[in-house]
Structure 1
């Protein structure tokens, strides 16, 4: 079977790896370069802490189990920079504490390790964190990777299993015969295919429209501040409990919350922001100022830290906040693996496994029904906005 994967970000790379290792003839197509767009503008988070009970959490739990197994099988795993450092979610108000405790209780019932922390344990784990905390929960399964390194390692393994990579090659449209997708038209010519996987991230809506089967996957903008290297200051991924609300919000206006974490290089990443502005890539000073203000409430000692850069990127947003994984019944031969918003790094390997199982007819590792491509949120009346 000939497969074309559209998109060489981490989701596309993970899908290409799974399909190539299954013996399929895979070609990865990207108009830019590997991991050069959304993946390169992420923080590399692999989280269970921000997901309530349901399909996305189940996909996150599957992915979290898979990551260490996949790393053991990658010849260049060092570039992934796997760091199972865990996460800590804090609430700074009484209302926030009650909401966090209820959220964590529901997660524990779904199998997530969510450990309440008292003041002493929190101070020992994060000595530079503000003491003005009403509640804290530790999530030992949260982890981090270097996103571009992880994506290129997965892609390299796909290439090691005979996949091909075509960069600087733009998808222009579909070749359809007998009502079935039989290939794609590209800036480099026609590529025949028995199966096409739309893994184009925030551009998945545009890609699907070009292929003749629009889906409502829209860009959602996010920004991150990066400090210069600092002495050890932040030891986990730490964020305010309102981050969960920002993730789940469908509001178009600016949503910010305090998210603070370090990297192996000693820099500290400050986030996060979410806003729907189409593909407007301008960085707005007021957004960065709001990110910094909220981050400093958690770590006042960062007040004098120097920010060496800020970056932003687009995340693939679906109105019901669930990825799109599986075949498109409107156009046989078209499959989707997109819509992960800011969770694509963590969910990539679980998505790829589920896709491979569905393609090959294997028993799926989890119920694929919630992610189906023909659900109302994906095929809504405003699906064409995904190409805006």
Structure 2
């Protein structure tokens, strides 16, 4: 019998579960958790590697509404997810536990910084819309912003949208917390993990054509209720492989969008009070090609046809490390560190924080980490959440790009409600597979 701190070892045999979840990132683990706490179904999580080996482990940890557009198709899902994260943090406090320790959760608030009159006008409109939508938000002038963040360079044209209720998480801690919580159900026979065990094929019933099991490198796992593909940027290619010998034609255009983050450890001479992001980040988040020069970053170029963008993001994690980002580029499934991009991130951060220009990046060679992850990018900017046409018991949950952590709990709730036939808390229509591709 597995304890709640050790994974259930995969046995080399046929096993049956109600729900199979393919992918052990923040989305997959959250979906497994939702079924476990919201029903009496049994769940298995399958991954070709281990948790946090994809985009989740390389993320910066935002739970931010500052970068979301009021009324957009993802707005309600992000808002619902933020509420669920807050409820989880509060429930831990009610139990006498520390969400900072367990999740790396802290309500730092976020600042979306603009440095031109055009950006300031845009931020003022955003703040007005956010307030009308029920969020706490305010526009900060240069002098007010300087009080909030003394390290930030401001001039007369600098301003920011400030959302005090935005928060941060440590993605790895959050994933570990979810995984540990899921493992409590192992002793009840309701949960198992199959890691380092790639999915090879779907096994369909000869009579109904319904998918009844998946074959992995070591096991055959049967499903009585649903199979959920939540494999991040690998979801599209995985579905293509799984459907290759079927009559179903489905092209999920999710593709990897590479990102670098620079982590400076124990940088005690520098203090950030909030999470910061430059206004141009929003445009770069949803754009796959270089933008006009109106963009704040000024660092978009073709980079060997990879449509590279670099925008300033800055947070301070629970250990006092500074996390600087971020880059976006299309480079296939390559996860190699590119020092030229790391240098651009450092240079861009220095344009906002003069103190960072006091030392060359080479001085931090022994106290830095570079995280590289592959965000699951969708061309229309929306995740895919819902059943696969022609395979009623197979569901997709992918394509969140850089918002997987933000939207994880809301996505899990939406997907579980679909499978269980519960009323939807958020309209799932914009995220449906059917009619999108």
Q: State the TM-score, normalizing by the size of structure 1.
A: 0.93
C-alpha distance in 2 between matches for 1:265 and 1:303: 23
Alignment of 1:157-306 (within 5 A): 157-161=181-185, 162-177=190-205, 178-194=208-224, 195-212=226-243, 213-231=250-268, 232-251=270-289, 252-304=306-358, 306=363
Q: Which moved more, 1:104-113 or 1:203-212?
A: 104-113
1:315 to 347, 371, 375: 375
Report the Cα distance in structure 1 between the residues aligned to 2:435 and 2:261, rounded to whole angstroms: 32
1:73-130 deviation line (CA, Å, top 9, x unaligned) = 5687532111110101111112222222233333333333221113332122111110
Find 1:106's aligned residue among 129, 132, 138.
129
- Separation (CA, whole Å) in 1 of partners of 2:354 and 2:166: 24
Question: 1:13–1:152: 8 Å Cα contact kept in structure 2?
Answer: no
Cα-Cα RMSD:
1.7
SS at match of 2:212: strand
Q: Which has the larger radius of gyration?
A: 2
C-alpha displacement of 1:352? 0.5
Q: How many angstroms apart in 1 are the aligned matches of 2:210 and 2:89?
A: 37
2:233–2:375 contact (8 Å) kept in structure 1: yes
The number of aligned residues is: 377
Q: Secondary structure at the match of 2:323?
A: strand
SS at match of 2:392: coil
Distance 1:375 1:155 in 2: 34
Q: Distance in 1 between matches of 2:380 and 2:127?
A: 22
CA distance in 2, matches of 1:169, 1:352: 23
Are the equivalent residues in 2 in contact too, given 1:325–1:373 (CA < 8 A)? yes
Write out per-residue CA displacement over residues 183-226 of structure 1, whole angstroms, 9 at most, x where no aligned residue. Answer: 11100121111311011011111222123144111110000111
In 1, the alpha carbon distance for the partners of 2:234 and 2:134 equals 34
| SS of alignment partner, residue 188 of structure 1 | coil
Q: In 2, Cα distance between the equivalents of 1:297 and 1:315?
A: 26
> Does the CA contact (< 8 Å) of 1:179 and 1:332 recur in 2?
no
Name the CA shift for 1:73/1:175 in 2 (closer, same or farther; >3 Å).
farther
- Distance in 2 between the 1:90 and 1:264 partners? 23
- Report SS of the residue matched to 2:83: helix
Q: Aligned to 2:74, what secondary structure does the other structure show?
A: helix
Structure 1 counterpart of 2:6: none
SS of structure 2 residue aligned to 1:333: strand
The aligned counterpart of 1:66 is 84
What secondary structure, in the 3-state scheme, does the structure 2 residue paired with 1:35 have?
coil
Unaligned segments of structure 2, at least 5 residues = 1-16, 244-249, 290-305
Kindly state the Cα deviation for residue 72 of structure 1 after the two structures are TM-superposed.
4.5
* CA 326–90 in structure 1, closer or farther in 2 if over 3 Å, else same: same
Shift of 1:256: 1.4
Determine whether 1:153 maps to 2:210.
Answer: no
- Runs of at least 5 residues in structure 1 that lack an aligned partner in the other structure: 380-388
Indicate conservation of the 8 Å contact 1:11/1:345, yes or no: yes
- Which one of the candidate residues 102, 120, 125 is aligned to 2:143? 120
- Aligned 8 A contact 2:145 2:159 in 1: no
Q: Is 1:35 paired with 2:52?
A: yes
The equivalent position to 2:61 in structure 1, one of 44, 47, 51, is: 44
Partner residue of 2:35? 19
**2:3 matched to which residue of 1?**
none
Match of 2:408 in 1: 348
- Give the TM-score, by structure 2 length: 0.83
Q: Distance between the aligned counterparts of 2:162 and 2:77, measured in 1?
A: 20
